[in-house]
Chains A and B, each alone.
Chain A
Amino acid sequence: MPWEAGTATPPIPVRPGPWIFFNADEAASIEAIVDRLIPPDDRGPGGKEAGCAVYLDRQLAGPYGTGAGLYLRPPFMPNAPATFGYQSPEQPAARYRTGLAALADYIKSNFSGKVFRDLTPVDQDKVLSGLEKGSIALKGVNSASFFTLMLSGTQEGFFADPIYGGNRDMAGWKLLGFPGARYDYRDWVDRHNEKYPLPPVSIMGRSDWTVKD
């Protein structure tokens, strides 16, 4: 069997640092948006503190942003039935760029020159609901599908392994009671109706792995 040391392809953890994909205005908006999609409460942090915006930033800067590996040959017939799947040449990076710009324009003209971050939480939710229902029309952007893109991305970040920048301190997993990247429940499969006791673990470990205090 062929095998060589060092041929593994482990994930490369996201490094903290400046935004890579978002510009400052976009980042401010997206941080405010993820914090309304997943608001902080007494159950735990919201989307912003959990790193969902960082997650989106790094994903959009990578192969996901450009739709790497997808079939992107023409012709594109965007009006085909939705059951045939997404049929547009725009990939996530471009969709966020135009979507956030169109959203900023909308808010500027409907909320006396403001930006999303400066709206009251009630207004922020109103805008997001409007996008979700498609009742707010963004220029050149299908608002409902843009909303779904942001929502699914935010939730992905909240529940994906923390190595990708979201789910910081495994906040999403703790919210659910999901034990994370564990790989052995042999002792627990037939312990019925008992709460699994061990804390979640990330692909890069957990605090109990720290030798130095």
Chain B
Amino acid sequence: MKQSLASAAVLLLSLMSVASAQDPQSFDRVEKGRYLSVLGDCAGCHTAQGGQPFAGGLALDTPFGKLVAPNITPDRDTGIGNMTDDEFVAALHDGRGRNGKRLYPAMPYPAYTRMSRDDILAMRSYFKTIQPVNNAVESNQLPFPFNIRLAMAFWNWLNFTPGRFQPNPQKSAEWNRGAYLVEGPAHCGTCHTPKTALGGDKTATPLAGATLQGWFAPNITANTHNGIGGWSKDDLVAYLKTGANQYTLASGPMSEAVTHSTSQMTDEDLAAIATYLKDSGVPSDGAKPTPVAASDKVMRVGEAVYKDSCAACHKDNGSGELHLFPKLAGSALVQSNDPTTLAHVVLNGARAASTAGAPTAPAMPSFDWRLKDDQVAAVLTYIRNTWGNAAAPVPASAVATKRTSQARFD
């Protein structure tokens, strides 16, 4: 008797899920789509600052020029109200817009192609429910020759492998869920995977770190030296959920990703992502660089600048302060091969993410007015080679290219 009751419950559940699949506008279906749009951080690009949700308008600076994210509200004139479901799926799976028009990969279809058709249709259900906004957006503001969409055919041939996510049966369900999220909707590789000269993913080294929009998106594989190998699963979950953990705080583009996307993911999905990332990439082979000698002239200058400019927050021993001032000692980002983010933050400052779990959102002040290029380079070289850290020295020329505001020096 008990057994048949249980079976009935299962039957009822499966009937319901069939029902919801058949009713694209059921609450569950729309809610699933909403959550997927959070996983995909659609609002991150398609909502302009201060603008209507998903009405487009956020300009993306790519190495090839400017692209503006289009209006994806159901407005029939300027949004996607006239799109069919198949066209919607084609956009995400194949990078094809209406009438077969090729999209630019600033739209992360090389990642979304891993998503299931069902998930994409759920998102479509959600987007049908949002407020239509009449807002015409000129997406393609690229200069010649990149403004020729046909060029994307060639690009896709080189860089784009369409196809759904294939689970790895050797791994746990959690691992596979994490892999699906990272490779698919959450499109982590769009920022974190190194790019070819044409902006395609270097597929041999996924998630090993890349430079974009003036920031270095660090290596998020399990590499212990410059990846997140030193972080526990809980550290990773805390970081994605709150934007802060015992080592650091999210800033720059990741602060936005945390605010709009990862902080709103379920704990199960965050754990899945952490499980997958902890098992990704190549763990450190132990070939850690030799630190620059403390007696080096540049290191001594760096130490003086650090003592006088940085220690009040990050402390003499580089330990920082939990949830306020990132820890520099042992930090993978500090020791990453590409010091772009370090130079960016020292010169321009940065605001940490504000989340329910870590609302403080402290900001690093800018020092471009105070430090010359060689002084920034010296202090970065110092923090990369002190307290057990070891990384290549930062040349002053690398700082010069990062300077965005006019320094008040002669």
* A contacts B: CB pair < 8 Å: yes
Using a CB–CB cutoff of 8 Å, the interface residues on chain A facing chain B are 1, 3, 5-6, 8, 10, 12-13, 15, 181-184, 187, 198, 201, 203-206, 208-213
Residues of B within 8 A of A204 (CB): 370
Residues of B264-313 at the interface with A, using a CB-CB cut-off of 8 Å, are: 297-298, 300-301, 304-305, 307-308, 311-312
Q: Are B354 and A205 in contact (CB under 8 A)?
A: no
Given contacts A5-B349, A8-B369, A12-B408, contact A211 B374 (CB under 8 A): yes
Kindly specify which of B33-41, B233-241, B360-368 makes contact with the partner chain: B360-368
Interface membership of B316, Cβ < 8 A = yes
Contact of B305 among A6, A15, A183, A205 (CB under 8 A): A205
* CB closest chain-B residue, reference A210: B301
Contact of A10 among B301, B305, B308, B370 (CB under 8 A): B370
A10-B408, A182-B308 known; 6 new pairs, CB 8 Å cut-off, are A3-B361, A5-B349, A5-B366, A8-B365, A201-B308, A205-B375
Complex CA gap A211/B376 in Å reads 10
Residues of A within 8 A of B410 (CB): 15
Using a CB–CB cutoff of 8 Å, the interface residues on chain B facing chain A are 297-298, 300-301, 304-305, 307-308, 311-312, 316, 348-351, 354, 361, 363, 365-366, 369-371, 374-375, 377-378, 396, 404-405, 408, 410
B395 to chain A, nearest CB (A): 11
* CB closest chain-B residue, reference A204: B370
A127 to chain B, nearest CB (A): 38
Residues of A within 8 A of B378 (CB): 211
Given contacts A3-B363, A10-B369, A15-B410, contact A208 B375 (CB under 8 A): no
Given contacts A5-B349, A13-B408, contact A206 B370 (CB under 8 A): no
* CB closest chain-B residue, reference A202: B308
**Most chain A CB atoms below 10 A, which of B298, B301, B405:** B301
Residues of A within 8 A of B366 (CB): 5-6, 8
A179 to chain B, nearest CB (A): 10
Q: Are A3 and B351 in contact (CB under 8 A)?
A: yes
Q: Are B312 and A205 in contact (CB under 8 A)?
A: no
Residues of B within 8 A of A5 (CB): 348-350, 366, 404
Given contacts A10-B369, A211-B297, contact A206 B374 (CB under 8 A): no
A-B contact count (CB 8 A): 64
Given contacts A8-B366, A184-B311, contact A208 B408 (CB under 8 A): no
Residues of B within 8 A of A210 (CB): 301
Complex CA gap A83/B308 in Å reads 41
A200 to chain B, nearest CB (A): 10
Residues of B within 8 A of A187 (CB): 316
Complex CA gap A162/B307 in Å reads 19
A25 to chain B, nearest CB (A): 29
A164 to chain B, nearest CB (A): 14
Given contacts A6-B348, A211-B375, contact A205 B405 (CB under 8 A): no
Residues of A within 8 A of B351 (CB): 1, 3
Complex CA gap A1/B135 in Å reads 28
Q: Are A208 and B370 in contact (CB under 8 A)?
A: no
Contact of A206 among B304, B348, B354 (CB under 8 A): B304
Residues of A within 8 A of B311 (CB): 183-184
A94 to chain B, nearest CB (A): 30
Complex CA gap A184/B316 in Å reads 9
Complex CA gap A165/B347 in Å reads 25
B82 to chain A, nearest CB (A): 38
Complex CA gap A182/B370 in Å reads 14
* CB closest chain-B residue, reference A213: B297
Q: Are B349 and A183 in contact (CB under 8 A)?
A: no
Complex CA gap A5/B369 in Å reads 12
Contact of A209 among B304, B365, B405 (CB under 8 A): B304
Closest 4 CB pairs of A and B: A183-B312, A208-B304, A10-B369, A3-B351
Given contacts A1-B354, A5-B348, A5-B366, contact A205 B308 (CB under 8 A): yes
Complex CA gap A187/B354 in Å reads 31
Residues of B within 8 A of A201 (CB): 308
A162 to chain B, nearest CB (A): 13
A189 to chain B, nearest CB (A): 14
**Most chain A CB atoms below 10 A, which of B305, B316, B410:** B305
B398 to chain A, nearest CB (A): 14
Interface CB pairs A-B, < 8 A, 27 = A1-B351, A1-B354, A3-B351, A3-B361, A5-B348, A5-B349, A5-B350, A8-B349, A8-B365, A8-B369, A10-B370, A15-B410, A182-B308, A183-B312, A184-B316, A198-B307, A201-B308, A203-B370, A205-B375, A206-B304, A208-B304, A211-B374, A211-B375, A211-B377, A211-B378, A211-B396, A213-B297
